[in-house]
Chains A and B, each alone.
Chain A
């Protein structure tokens, strides 16, 4: 684990209240898709945990939504300003488990701010020779982002919006088969639960209010079939079979 000071390469709005921020940093620090960084912001006591959307040679990209004062302040930061990041945090997705499955298609399912980690995951799966199907869910067309980026990877992308203003009308589960073989999911908990119920196997990434982000404070513990786990350290990704709702 590292505490790094990174300069901002860019910070721009990509959808309603949604921003994409790229940092100059050693991208090798991010070992797996689904890992996150914890950002120290001036004037705020707790760090902001944000999942990694993409990495390139010498940089990583985060996508975040302005939901409070901290993320509002983040959205005002300019190119060249520096931030203090703890990284890499969390276990991330294990793509080997999906490769070994003989169970039909692999689905990547992201809802809202659950979409960004799916992008790095999609790239990793493609490099591993997989061609996952992508389902993205948003409330409304103004919130849609990254549809074109997934399509540019050559993947089959379906977008669902709750109000039907873009793509199909409904939830991500409306774009899923009755029982998906293997899913990688990230999004709000009700979405994860709905996806869980329509899948045989997979990995689910959970959000939580965190204290430290690195496993010390027990602020984000959850119950699993194998005992208590810390979302920040033992997660955020849990295997389908260990989840207790």
Chain B
């Protein structure tokens, strides 16, 4: 019997597979397909203090090996998330979840993080400083090491639960941002969020996405994500959740070999709602095939 359990800042997960924020809502749509209790955890939809409608349509475009989205953090706001969405999720999911927090000012992040920190169901706070689809805040907090560090400190000062900073790949050197977050007290790093991209409708001669550009995700970005996880894992000593283009158990093994402790599966959930279930079922088989008894054996082994 292989051991798929992993530990993230004191939280033990049955397996390292976590649906990424924004691709899994608050779980109920996927519970129509399978029992979501098999998941290691769930990173729930990005939450802001106030409700957000998000960007104008179209918000979606297809690409070779992936997609572009510019949803723009549509969410019902932290109050509705705590009073309605999380209690509803608790009925169908009995493990701790990862709250994903966003805002357009430091005050927003602090307010939202404090409220979600107080929810018993929340095991980890993931601070989204990498959303490319909002005009104020989002990615602008994650492209400068000093700004990222300040925000990390501000959030850490008001919460008790582990804080993971979710980083953007749209920077010159992601390891600099990761190191700044670590020095400021972050408990872990999630990377990567989507890459800025666009498509043009050549018949209409205009961008497909109403917001012109959006966030590119899907299997095509896996090598980019893997490279960034690998470099960041060498640069910091805190745990990493590896995100970006994962769609198979073999991808999960690669991410862990690059240095990730757990992984998040994003866009693949949208094209195949059974992706996480399939990965969780295949993971022990792949581990056996490769002679891996425990995932901790291979973490960061690729050197």
Contacts and interface: CB of A to CB of B under 8 A. Distances in A.
> Does chain A bind chain B?
yes
Interface of A: 1, 3, 40, 44-47, 70, 86, 208-212, 214-223, 228, 233
A208 B71 CA distance: 13
Nearest to B267: A45
A233 B267 CA distance: 18
Contacts of B227: none
Contacts of B54: 218, 221
25 contacts: A1-B32, A3-B274, A44-B62, A45-B64, A45-B218, A46-B60, A46-B67, A70-B62, A208-B57, A209-B57, A209-B59, A209-B61, A210-B60, A211-B60, A211-B67, A212-B271, A212-B273, A216-B269, A217-B25, A218-B54, A218-B59, A220-B57, A220-B59, A220-B60, A233-B29
Interface string B52-66: 011001111111111
Contacts of B74: 218, 221, 228
Contacts of B271: 40, 45-47, 212
B270 A217 contact: yes
A215 B60 contact: no
Contacts of A221: 53-54, 57, 59, 71, 74
Contacts of A228: 53, 74
Contacts of A47: 271
A210 B57 CA distance: 10
Contacts, number: 91
A222 B273 contact: no
A241 B57 CA distance: 21
Interface residues of B, number: 35
Main secondary structure of the interface of B (DSSP, over half): loop
Given A46-B270, A221-B53, A216 B59 contact: no
A242 to B, nearest CB: 16
Given A209-B60, A211-B59, A221-B54, 7 more contacts: A3-B273, A45-B64, A209-B57, A218-B54, A218-B71, A221-B53, A221-B71
Interface string B255-286: 00000000000010111111000000000000
Given A45-B66, A46-B60, A216 B32 contact: no
A3 B62 CA distance: 21
A219 B62 contact: no
B62 A46 contact: yes
A178 B29 CA distance: 42
Contacts of A219: 59-60, 69, 71
Interface in B27-82: 29-30, 32-33, 45, 53-54, 57-67, 69, 71, 74
Closest 10 CB pairs of A and B: A212-B270, A219-B60, A209-B58, A216-B29, A218-B74, A215-B29, A209-B60, A216-B25, A46-B62, A211-B60
Given A1-B32, A46-B270, A216 B66 contact: no
B22 interface: yes
A228 B69 CA distance: 18
Contacts of B32: 1, 214
Contacts of A212: 23, 29, 269-271, 273
A209 B274 CA distance: 21
Contact of A208 (B33, B58, B272): B58
A45 B57 contact: no
A211 B53 contact: no
A66 to B, nearest CB: 13
B55 to A, nearest CB: 9
B24 interface: yes
